Chains A and B, each alone.
Chain A
Amino acid sequence: MNDIEKKLLEKITDLHKLPSGTFSFRKNGKSEIQNNTKDVQIIPKKDKNGIDIFVNPNVKNKSIHIPVIITVGGLDDLVYNDFYIGHDADILIVAGCGIHNKTCKKSQHDGIHSFHIGKNASVKYIEKHVGEGNGSGEKILNPITKIFMEDGSHMEMETLQLEGVSSTIRKTFAKLYDNTSLNIQENILTTFDQTAKTSFKVELLGENSRVEVVSHSVAKDNSYQEFKSNLIGKNQCFGHVECDGILLNNAQIISTPMIDAENSNASLIHEAAIGKIAGDELIKLMTLGLSQEEAENMIIQGFLLG
């Protein structure tokens, strides 16, 4: 890997080099390296781009890294990654895509991920998206995540998109069965003329199913963000969606909630708050010696990464 590639990899995975466990590394539209372990098998798809990842039942405390980097312009990369998590497994999955585009042609990566989480399994999924490079070509990331949770399973999903991604359309679908829980934390920063549209559709099908979606977004300059959520409660269940947005300059954020309780024992909540950085937060940090700009940056940093 050259320096640009190493830096991108570090930004999306916090790794300085390829990890020793299970991993699949995709670069510029091609699968570069894959490493299987006895607990986790990665099998390339035969009919389209992508991989199937099988985690054996009862595998505990293992991690899978599947970073993607793009360092060229004019590439449209569509990939299908399907995860099959065995029952009672406990696994960390680190994904993410970094685009370094210094050309005038757009680079795009669309990662279609599906998670089939077996009974009583637990998954933590971290996904970071980064765009960089000073070419005029757009850097586009359009992920789709489909989650199917069998009885008793648990999933935590953290997604982070920092500066540099020209546009993103992020769609998440989930079906939750009995005694399952899904926690989603989404953090997005857009600047300049960037756009980010995210939507969640979560069907709470099983008894005692539970979902928590927290979205923190910061829109600066002339950027535009949309947040749509749709929680459907079809059983005795709990759902909570929180959308918090900070606006700076001429940016715009639209939050559209939808909660649909089809069962009288469903309890669904939506909260949304969009506005400028609170004046008293700025004042507090300024009384500690920070300039207004430093205070703003610290508040945004904490809001997105805290």
Chain B
Amino acid sequence: MLELKNINYSVFDENINKDILKNINLTFKENKTYVITGPNGSGKSTLSKIIMGILSPASGQVFFNGKDITNLSIDERANNSISYAFQKPITFKGLKVRELLDVASNKKNTFDQLCDYLSIVGLCAKEYINRPLNDKLSGGELKRIELAMVLSRNSKLNIFDEPEAGIDLWSFEQLTKIFSTLKNSCNIIVSHQKKILEIADEIILLNNGQVQKMGKLEEILPLLENNTCHKLRGDKNE
């Protein structure tokens, strides 16, 4: 469903060209859940942004359902059924939760439909739909609404950049439940959380901008435990 071919990405920092991603080649299949993990700075979020079109690779190609989407804009990818949940949810001055859910789902929703979207993430529509999506909402509320927006789109490919960041324990348990029920889409989750790694069909371990290993949890865990730079959260040692 999604294929990354020879993806490279670099930034110009302190007068030197720093490689963030080096020759990434990956294939993602439909209806599977993948977790991208790795130490801080290994290029996980950069890779997820390249898939969504938020960043452009220096070289390489992105194929989605056999079509080269490397040069497609963010909205063109979104309209080709790709969705993206931000690590740090974006807030607005004046836009209400209802309006954003309408845009996300591309229809004018009834109260009951809005209720369906928000109840999945444990929020009551009555309390939230007319509230502005701004900093007056807590980090956990913003994160849940971010998730609701993505889920309301029913996309074929969902990308979640560190969905566990900034949510409370209750939400975290819900989050893992939600991910384990997403069966009709390909899901790519950037995460450090062991519980999220456990629900993955396959895990991609990035290290220093390269794919160190792609495999099942039992293949990846020993590598993570041996890597002193990568602390897996939710592990017994934490």
Contact = CB atoms under 8 A, between A and B. Distances in A.
Residue in A284, A285, A287, A303 with the greatest tally of chain B CB atoms within 10 Å: A287
B102 to A, nearest CB: 10
A280 B146 CA distance: 14
Contacts of A288: 78, 100, 103-104, 149, 153
A302 B95 contact: yes
A292 B106 CA distance: 16
Given A286-B78, A288-B78, A289-B78, A306 B93 contact: yes
B54 interface: yes
The 7 tightest CB contacts between A and B, nearest first, are A306-B94, A302-B94, A302-B95, A284-B90, A286-B74, A289-B78, A286-B75
Contacts of B86: 284, 287
B contact patch SS: mixed
A299 interface: yes
B78 A303 contact: no
Interface in A275-306: 280-281, 283-292, 295, 298-299, 301-306
A216 B93 contact: yes
B84 interface: yes
Interface string A80-113: 0000000000000000000000000000000000
Contact of B74 (A216, A287, A303, A306): A287
A69 B211 CA distance: 68
Interface of A is mostly: helix
Given A286-B74, A286-B75, A287-B83, A298 B103 contact: yes
Contacts of A244: 93
10 contacts: A286-B78, A287-B75, A287-B86, A288-B153, A289-B104, A290-B75, A292-B75, A302-B93, A302-B94, A306-B94
Nearest to B96: A306
Nearest to A280: B90
B132 interface: yes
Given A288-B153, A289-B103, A298-B95, A281 B75 contact: no
Contacts of A291: 75
Interface of B: 52, 54, 73-75, 78-79, 83-84, 86, 90, 92-96, 99-100, 103-104, 106, 132, 149, 153
Nearest to A299: B92
Interface of A: 216, 244, 280-281, 283-292, 295, 298-299, 301-306
Contacts of B75: 286-287, 289-292, 295
Nearest to B54: A283
Given A287-B52, A298-B103, A306-B96, 8 more contacts: A216-B93, A216-B94, A244-B93, A286-B74, A287-B78, A287-B83, A302-B99, A306-B132
A306 B93 CA distance: 8
B45 to A, nearest CB: 14
Contacts of A286: 73-75, 78
B103 A305 contact: no
Most buried by A among B52, B78, B96: B78
Contacts of A304: 94
Contacts of B95: 298-299, 302, 306
A305 B83 CA distance: 28
Contacts of A303: 92-94
Q: Which of B75, B78, B79, B84 has the most CB of A within 10 A?
A: B75
A281 B90 contact: yes
A281 B237 CA distance: 38
Contacts of B93: 216, 244, 302-303, 306
B103 A290 contact: yes
A31 B193 CA distance: 71
Contacts of A299: 92, 95
Nearest to B74: A286
A288 B52 CA distance: 11
A162 to B, nearest CB: 14
Nearest to A246: B93
A171 to B, nearest CB: 25
Contacts of B104: 288-289
A176 to B, nearest CB: 26
Contacts of B99: 298, 302
Interface centre among B93, B104, B106, B132 (most CB of A within 10 A): B93
A284 B83 CA distance: 10
A292 B76 CA distance: 11
Given A292-B75, A302-B92, A305-B94, A285 B103 contact: yes
A290 B104 CA distance: 9
Nearest to B104: A288
A281 B92 contact: yes
